[in-house]
Amino acid sequence: MINVADLAITSLDVISAYNLDGTPAFVLDELQDATISNTEEKEEVTGRGGRRLSSLKKNKGVTVSGTNGLVSAGLLETQVGDDFVQANDAAVKWIDYLTVKNNAATTEWIAAGTAGAEIEALYVRGADGTAGTQMTQASAVASGKFTYNPTTKALAFNENELEDGTEIIVYYTRKLAAHVLTNDSTNYSRKLRLYIDGSAEDKCGNIYHVQFLIPKADFNGEFDLELGDTQAVHSFEAESLAGSVCGSGAASGALWTYTVFGVDAADYTGG
């Protein structure tokens, strides 16, 4: 029998999430931290002079929160309540900064859109570096007008209108194969089953594996993705719900279970 009285949790290894029907949802294996926060309301029962006689306890609650070092696609899907879709013609906005040579330039990618209006905007960069004169796409070159052929990605300008070396800024939409997740205003964050795995060590240096099971974790749809010059981490928060646990193996009233086993624990073969 192992001694689990006092353990030092030495590492947080992985959080694996499953849909309530048991199918895998995602795995967070670059965790920076995780917290299992336990709450309980306690109301004092008082007697003469306000002295405490007992207490009424109710409303236990558990909140799981944490931070993953990488932005997780599965966690995003859970938080926004939608799935990534693989699209062959996802539209993305693109800006090219090009240099004119011989009255021509070439876009980096194919501009998509209505024939003859693929280029959404084209500016000639001014001497001060700002976007200056705007030119418009047309069927033939003329003063202030240019042509574009999406097959060759060629932009053509009126003869000698733009000197060689003139910089232009070209705005267009690309269509490409991509994975797209939509944060739809009518869809909400999901409920999942969570397993939090860690390693532990007792006073004698024996190594154990610990696993928390949160049978039904109701994820919070409020989260931040901070983008900038520091690492973008993915934080999450979920509240454990009691009640039906849909075959998780935990008791129906369980907010979480805590399982400790030796790293070399033998498998049960009793059937």
Of the two residues 76 and 141, which places its CB atom closer to another protein in the complex? 141
- Segment near another protein (CB under 8 A), from 20-28, 76-84, 146-154, 227-235? 146-154
- Segment near another protein (CB under 8 A), from 10-18, 149-157, 186-194, 226-234? 149-157
CA dist 248 and 211 (Å) reads 14
Residue 175 token pair: 């269509």
Of the two residues 116 and 126, which places its CB atom closer to another protein in the complex? 116
Q: What are phi and psi of 269, to 5 degrees?
A: -120, 20
- Shortest distance in whole angstroms from residue 137 CB to another protein: 8
Binding track, positions 60-99, relative to another protein; x by CB under 8 A = -----------------------------x-x--------
DSSP 14-80: EEEEE-TTS-EEEEE-SEEEEEEEEEEEEEEEE-GGG-EEEEEEEEEEEEEEEEESS--HHHHHHHH
Q: Which of 114, 160, 185, 230 binds another protein (CB under 8 A)?
A: 114
Inter-residue contact 195 to 64 (CB < 8 Å): no
Q: Which of 38, 152, 182, 244 binds another protein (CB under 8 A)?
A: 152
Residue with tokens 């193996």: 249
183 is a site residue for another protein (CB under 8 A): no
59 is a site residue for another protein (CB under 8 A): no
Q: Which residues of 24-51 are buried (b: 16+ CB within 10 A; e: fewer)?
A: ebbbbeebeebebeeeeeeeeeeeeeee
- Segment near another protein (CB under 8 A), from 29-37, 136-144, 196-204, 231-239? 136-144
115 is a site residue for another protein (CB under 8 A): yes
- Shortest distance in whole angstroms from residue 187 CB to another protein: 20
Inter-residue contact 87 to 261 (CB < 8 Å): no
Of the two residues 88 and 230, which places its CB atom closer to another protein in the complex? 88
Q: Which of 131, 138, 178, 242 binds another protein (CB under 8 A)?
A: 138
- Please give the helix or strand (H or E) that residue 210 lies within, else none: strand 207-219
Q: Which of 149, 166, 199, 206 binds another protein (CB under 8 A)?
A: 149
The end-to-end CA distance of the chain, in Å, is 21
Residues of this chain that interact with another protein (CB under 8 A) are: 89, 91, 112-117, 136-140, 147, 149, 151-152, 154, 173, 175
